[in-house]
Amino acid sequence: MSTCQVYRLGLVEYQKAWNLQNQLADEIARGEHPPTLLLLEHPHVYTFGRRGQAEHLLWEQARLQEQQVDVHWVDRGGDVTYHGPGQLVGYPLLPLGEVQPDPASGNPRIPQVDYIAYLRNLEKTIIKALAQLGVPAGQVPGQTGVWVQPDVASRCVHCPPHLLQAPSKIASIGVKVDAKGVSRHGFALNVMPDMNYWQGIVACGLENQNQISLEYIFNQPPDMERVVHELLTVFSQVFSYELELHEGILLI
């Protein structure tokens, strides 16, 4: 079984984490660094992916400054999302396979089937980890991410009433696979973030998309350490890696 290095980095500014991803992904592509999973939290930030639209940012500049929110346009898939303290962010930097010329553009990329399989494996990892925490979750057809159904939210201790009407997203996923077949960006799981910050965007470009967190669901939510433990256990199984954990090592 191959080894994946796991680095718990604590609270890291988004730009620094993005720079680190790019540095490590390049080293992984050259065979100079093993597969890597970065686990961290970010200060308040909105990130726009390749399909992002400026009108999906609802807060004006003055409000962004008041709430201390940064904004970044990045090269992952998808539209806009939020990251902040209390949200577990994971960036798997994994060699996913051989790249091939894209039939349309001729540019090198991994086959679409491998890209979709990677997204589904990220979803599977989070779904299984949530099950270990006592939260039934799943997929929504046509959408990427992990969702909690209204029947689960109906037992929710702190859920606002609107979460009882439709599925609520508990984890967002947005990735890039570079021209050498190495994944970048990843997932964000709402553990106990300040959910008010979702009001500043049209999340994923979808009107009225509900967001939910473990803190909403439980009277006494699991702490971040428990969430990390369950997620790493499942990640190792789904992606067939032996994990080497490095606590508090900042590579930036």
Closest CA to 234 of 178, 185, 171, 192: 171
Please, which residues bridge with residue 101 across strands? 108
Helix (H) or strand (E) holding 36: strand 36-41
**Which amino acid, 146?**
V
Clarify whether 4 is annotated catalytic: no
Token representation of residue 97:
């396979």
CA dist 166 and 150 (Å) reads: 6
Q: Is the dihedral of CA 202, 208, 209, 214 positive or negative?
A: positive
Closest CA to 42 of 13, 22, 15, 21: 13
Q: Active-site residue numbers? A: 204
